[in-house]
């Protein structure tokens, strides 16, 4: 369910390896660079706090391993829970190709029946990326994700943003659909909308806090990337890196959260120190 990004293999320890030091990444990295930046900081803090080189990570809805495999490359143990057998098969193949099959485990399941296949209170970090849009009860899905954390842990939540969809429909000239999305309780622009649900930053933070975590950070993801013509980024020298830097600068500003395509919220236990 997450966007594709495959950082190069790192042979450093998790606390010293950094996705930020990678060489220039493909255009697809614009979709996930901000999330990786925040997640890397959270992983570094947990490694230092626990004194363990390898963390236990649960990736709910992790699909074919777009996040799980790079995390395993950094030395962490990752359990991926996903309802799709095809995605899990792709995960197994991808982990084998990356030579991290011993650190990646895929199991079939979903957020509501999470503890049928995952350990309650057994993980240092839980990823909940592209999940709450699809579950019947987002609050229950969030509570389950938080319940999978150890007493001190970190939740990485990524979900579709309402404002980004409204802006995209308006810029495409679909003004009625933009208004429909703005007024719809689930943020949908019509019957043909493939996204079951979208959120505002306030709704996501309420879900995280309601599940017992404090919000460590909120970032807008893909604020500009989906609006800039691909031909411009691909042909203009230096445009990709400049756009990436712009995305990173805008991500932390609350003014841009309302127009981001996705929203990322970092939830932390009360004992976990923030940045």
Sign of the alpha-carbon dihedral angle for 118, 124, 129, 131:
positive
For residue 12, is pLDDT > 50? no
Task: Judge contact between 73 and 100, C-beta under 8 A.
Answer: yes
d(Cα 267, Cα 274) in Å, to the nearest integer?
A: 10
Q: Which 3 state secondary structure label does DSSP give 192?
A: coil
For residue 129, is pLDDT > 50? yes
Rounded alpha-carbon distances, angstroms, from residue 259 to 36, 95, 118, 166, 241: 20, 35, 35, 8, 21
- Output the pTM of the full model: 0.85
Give tens-digit pLDDT for 73-113: 999 999 999 999 999 999 999 999 999 999 999 999 998 89
Which tokens belong to 79? 């359990």
Q: Residue 272 has what pLDDT?
A: 41
Edge-first strand listing for the sheet containing 262-268: 104-108, 77-82, 56-60, 123-129, 149-160, 262-268, 214-221
Q: Residue 2 has what pLDDT?
A: 39
Q: Residue 7 has what pLDDT?
A: 34
For residue 5, is pLDDT > 80? no
Helix (H) or strand (E) holding 56: strand 56-60
Q: Confidence class of residue 25 from pLDDT cuts 50, 70 and 90? A: very low
d(Cα 131, Cα 111) in Å, to the nearest integer?
A: 8
């Amino acid at each position: 369910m997450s966007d594709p990004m495959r950082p190069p293999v790192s042979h450093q320890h998790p606390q010293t390896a950094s996705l930020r030091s990678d060489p220039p990444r493909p255009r697809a990295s614009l979709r996930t660079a901000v999330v990786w930046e925040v997640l890397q900081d959270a992983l570094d803090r947990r490694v230092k706090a626990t004194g363990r080189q390898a963390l236990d990570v649960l990736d709910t809805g992790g699909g074919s391993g777009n996040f799980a495999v790079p995390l395993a490359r950094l030395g962490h143990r990752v359990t991926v829970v996903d309802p799709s057998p095809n995605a899990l098969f792709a995960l197994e193949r991808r982990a084998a190709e990356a030579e991290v099959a011993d650190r990646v485990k895929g199991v079939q399941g979903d957020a509501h029946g999470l503890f049928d296949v995952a350990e309650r209170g057994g993980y240092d970090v839980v990823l909940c990326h592209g999940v709450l849009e699809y579950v019947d009860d987002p609050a229950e899905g969030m509570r389950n994700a938080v319940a999978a954390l150890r007493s001190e842990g970190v939740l990485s939540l990524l979900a579709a943003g309402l404002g980004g969809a409204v802006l995209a429909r308006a810029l495409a000239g679909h003004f009625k659909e933009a208004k429909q999305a703005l007024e719809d309780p689930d943020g949908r622009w019509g019957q043909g909308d493939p996204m079951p649900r979208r959120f505002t930053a306030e709704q996501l933070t309420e879900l995280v806090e309601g599940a017992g975590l404090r919000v460590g950070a909120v970032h807008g993801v893909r604020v500009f990337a989906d609006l800039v013509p691909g031909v411009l980024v691909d042909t203009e020298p230096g445009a990709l890196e400049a756009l990436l830097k712009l995305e990173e600068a805008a991500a932390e500003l609350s003014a841009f959260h309302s127009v981001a395509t996705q929203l990322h919220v970092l939830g932390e236990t009360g004992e976990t120190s923030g940045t």
